[in-house]
Structure 1
């Protein structure tokens, strides 16, 4: 998906059109054919970077829609914004924790079922029983990780995504935002139980989200840092990391050494060719002057000039 937004700051800054790509690649072939600036153009990237820097420095001057679009975006290096990166990291952590719990729970159930079903069955060798149990345990590992990991990661994405979006809209942390996020998470969790189950799950999620929101608000208050200051710091930190990685990659690029070697070779060859060319020209002029080589034919302008010079000499 490729969206074009026009962000209009309130303090006399001109309108700038920027390209925002989110969660998918962008196809710039049609844009290039139309002669427009694409998000791979260096000039366009610099404009986007300047605009984003200004937006993070003065978030109050922008509307809630513009602050929300600032969060749900990817930059020119295909990395998430600082706000969205926090949601992404929380989702990955939930996926990992849920997967670990699912592996433990499903493997425990699979082991108990295997022992219960094969209590009175005689195996020819203990190794045969161990292999059969291992097969069932491996299946339980995959099943448990996918089942619990995906469920917990989806719920965490909904909660953190809604709470972070509400904080971007308000431009400050409010415990009621977490109530809304908990209600959305609870309603989705009880989606398979119909409208009544969704209402009950949403109510319970909202109740549980209130103390979580209070904890987030207290943590923000104790740090003494506003939402605007925090995300500006995170944005500058991410840009510094990207710049450092780019300089490191450029320093390790072998093509730079090849280009430097070619420059030295070209410089030396130019110096040699200059001396040789000067010598050849002097020899050719000496041969033409003494009649050993025919002189090249003159153009009409040169012939007229030479004729006027001869007439001037005769008149003298």
Structure 2
């Protein structure tokens, strides 16, 4: 497997507990992976990495892999169009500086897009879970818990300044990909954003623990009536930044983030805005090509 693709999917599945597998399509857009090449081998890559968490027998594997193929076929027919439409709308509106309301709107729209993409995977998640024995479920949950603990422990080894430096570096890398080189004022905004994210980190960890606890309950209730609806509801909430006990703090973070993104967007030069447009155009063209391959 090409090293770049391996790294991209390793990052994706390391965060499987945070935003589940359906985010693969949006992750590919922002991770620097080769979108078209990777998309075309998802029917192999998804099982390859899923097997780090689930240990299936040969019949279960065959059924799971067939399910992945069917989901991806559906995604080519429906999911690609949804992504193209949303990215096209963003491209059209981002020709001019975006307002606060527009930034908030696109957050809601792309969250809803992620939820619709997740819904496409619900049947295969349900089918796979219901086919697994109690022992297989326990082993899967142990593997997920180990990954979660590894991430938390890795973060715990860093002091606040190290965490800030790491986040700032990551935000600068992402921003450079989307708009090109930044000036000092723009870099300062990204450092401010990193600070907001650090403040929210304890709540995100608490939310992660709550979601995992709910997942344990869910996976122990596979024989319950309406299990598919239970999984669908879980995945729908999973995709959104929602955690009722601390929702007021999350909403405050989102408002601060939207305001900062508004300032950053207002600060873009014509060259940076053109760079952003080119990146969006490339995504639209690539996804359109992928859709065309399905129709031919």
TM-score by length of 2: 0.26
Larger RCO (CA within 8 A; separation ≥ 6): 2
Larger Rg: 1
Structure showing the higher helix proportion among its residues? 2
